[in-house]
Structure 1
Amino acid sequence: MPNRSSLDQELASLRGLIADMANRVDEQFANAMNALLQGDVDLAEEVVAGDDAVDALELRIDEQCERILALHSPVAVDLRMLIMAVKINTDFERIGDHCRNLSRNARYLVDAPGLLADTRLPKMADMSRTMLREAEMAFLENDRLKARKVIARDLQVNRLHEETFATLVEMCEDGHEQSEVIAHLLTVSKALERISDHAKNIAQSIVFMVEGQDLRHRGLKDDPDAPDLPPLDESAAGESFGEEV
């Protein structure tokens, strides 16, 4: 029967894999924004190609989680660690997807290098990447306070996205000659906003791991008028969209 030492080694391996994922995604993010700002299509293609490595690492982390669950049946803090690992693994992979999508816009900005720099997008990118790196440090250090700071920063990115979106839409409505480029910048703004959301999700998962407190949908927990979930219909177990199983 696996012992405590074996479980600790498996968890340490899992933490190492997640740290590798965080570093890889952070590099993807930096390269994606550099490709956009510099109009570097070759670098953008490297980011797109690098997404396969992120996906492969996601699968490896999932396999490690499944291994720990099967061999050790973890409980308490160890189980929270495992739940958190599954969630943040998905968030990191989604950030990688957004980095790939950011890079795919680079070729459309080559003929308008100054347009992106004139928006709030570089500041959004800096703040989103700061959130990502601080979330990584919070994970490595089991630091719930750093994680909570990441959560608070998300509101600032959301405001920048709203400002940028309004500015770009106004430019289109005024008949800006580079309306196609502006459309791609709207896509960039939304991708950056989503990256910050995933960084916030990672931070929330870290708080859950350290404190055992779920910060998602806090308003529902405090709202006496929040709808109750219907009871589970056990007779429907095994059914899937009307198909026979």
Structure 2
Amino acid sequence: MDLILLLRSLVYAVISVSSSLCFAVEVTFCYEDKELSPAYMGNGQGIPRNNPGAAIEILRQVDVRLPEITIKYVRKPWQRCLHELKKNKVHAVIASYRSERTQFMQYPIKADSKINPAMAISRFGRCLVGKQVFYQHMEQQDKAFSLAIPTGYSAASSLDAKRFAIVNTSSQTQSYELVMKDVVDGTIGLCLINGEKVRAYPYSKELVSVYPPFDMSYGFLTFSKEFFAQHQSEIETVWSLLATMPVAEFYMNYLEMDEDALE
């Protein structure tokens, strides 16, 4: 009799696991097909199996910890991701807050209907970065500087145009190299992640960050309005988990990898 009860328990357990897998909500997450270190690594539509980027590793952990969801990854140009999110052809992206995006994009919201920064998948602070002499001269309020900044870098809009002359570059790596060659005075770099000072950045032995950050940006895992309406409970569980995860460590690890590659 005991054997029969044991067999029944095993059958029920298998059915329960199978059912949870069958009814897991599939989330199609779309992200840029260009490398955006440390969040996304590699170029093209392929999803790297190893070292895919900090943001992807965080989402993989979410997938493992929450059996009620499963995440499918696709890579497309950023504007294509946004276009398909509007049509619910993809379900989620990581995006900063823009009021115009709330028409088609669901952000984590507090009870007072304001955005909830605690549930951001990234909270980045960016500082001016340069050699020690640059750091010392920054105290002279009337002194102007040249900064190498990648083309399209939105954080540059936070800088005083009268004090900083911008030299556009094709990449952040090139920007650092121009600083090292004394072609420009400085650049801007990631210096604060979720409240923690960045431990490593390119040429950290020769360059220093000027704290506090001049710019703060928040990245949120957002969903299409239609998908959120269908799966609100599961999505709120995802946001709650992100709020408790030590996400800064994922980004820090990739920044240390980048520094090692330059040595």
Same fold (TM over 0.5): no
More helix by share: 1
TM-score normalised per structure 1: 0.23
Q: Which protein is richer in strand relative to its size?
A: 2
Bigger Rg over Cα: 2
TM-score, normalised by the number of residues in structure 2: 0.22
